[in-house]
Amino acid sequence: MPSETVRKKLKELIITELNLEGKTSDDIDDGAPLFGEGLGLDSLDALQLAMVIEEHFGVQVPEGDEARPIFASVDSLVAYIDRESA
């Protein structure tokens, strides 16, 4: 799946699955942090997002400290999905 297709689908999933009402794909900066000051997600959101990624993209997401760099931003998630699904 091309990176731009993954990026678009991932942003849609983040909005719908994490109930980010009022947000659009354009509101999510690809390089901005997903947690803390960025999109403001928390650890429960990370768990839900990991399950969604595994379900929709068929890639296994590691847990704990190993997952932190993967969940840094949309860009890092797309890179991980591309790498693991190749």
| DSSP assignment letter at 41 | B
Q: At 9, which CATH number?
A: 1.10.1200.10
Closest residue by Cα to residue 29 from 75, 82, 67 = 75
pLDDT of residue 36: 83
41 strand-pairing partners:
35
The domain in which residue 17 lies consists of: 3-85
Instruction: Please give the average pLDDT of every successive group of 10 residues along the chain, which has 86 residues.
Output: 93 95 93 89 92 96 92 96 92
Q: How many domains does the chain have?
A: 1
